Amino acid sequence: MTMEYALGCLLLLVTAAAALRDWRQRRIPNILPLLLMAGGALLLLLRFASGEAPAQSAVQALAGLGLGALVSLPGYGLGVMGAGDVKLLASIGWVLSWPAAVVFLLLWAVAFALWCTVALITRERTRQPVAPSVLLGHAGAVIALGWQ
């Protein structure tokens, strides 16, 4: 088992903790996206140490971060998502980097759409937690792409 894979699994556990907290309390503590950002920085350092081009890896990580923020900010502006959800999506984009962040966001969008559809069918009128579908998207991206 490589260090990158082990760290990736730990970061998936952080996402699971955010999903559980969001499910129960509809809040994501700031420490969880911060842990993901720190873990993403460690992953970036591991990539540098393995011989990947530092500039390319950094740009890809920043692109993933920006994409996660770009996709989630309209939901925040409309009141569908909270600030913790935006930070969570952006930090996972940072962890996975470009182009894996695209796969993650597509899987998250499908999971969240299904989640909201079930809520509509069951006539549950409360605001739905976003982080459980984020966990599904994160895990799905890891399974689909693996840790390179």
The whole-angstrom separation of Cα 29 and Cα 6 is 23
pTM listed for this prediction: 0.85
pLDDT at 147: 57
> Domain limits at 89?
3-145
Average pLDDT for residues 26-45, to the nearest whole number?
90
pLDDT of 86 over the 60 cut: yes
pLDDT single digits (tens) 57-84: 889 999 999 999 999 898 889 888 889 9
Give me Rg for the CA atoms of the chain. 15
Number of domains in the chain: 1
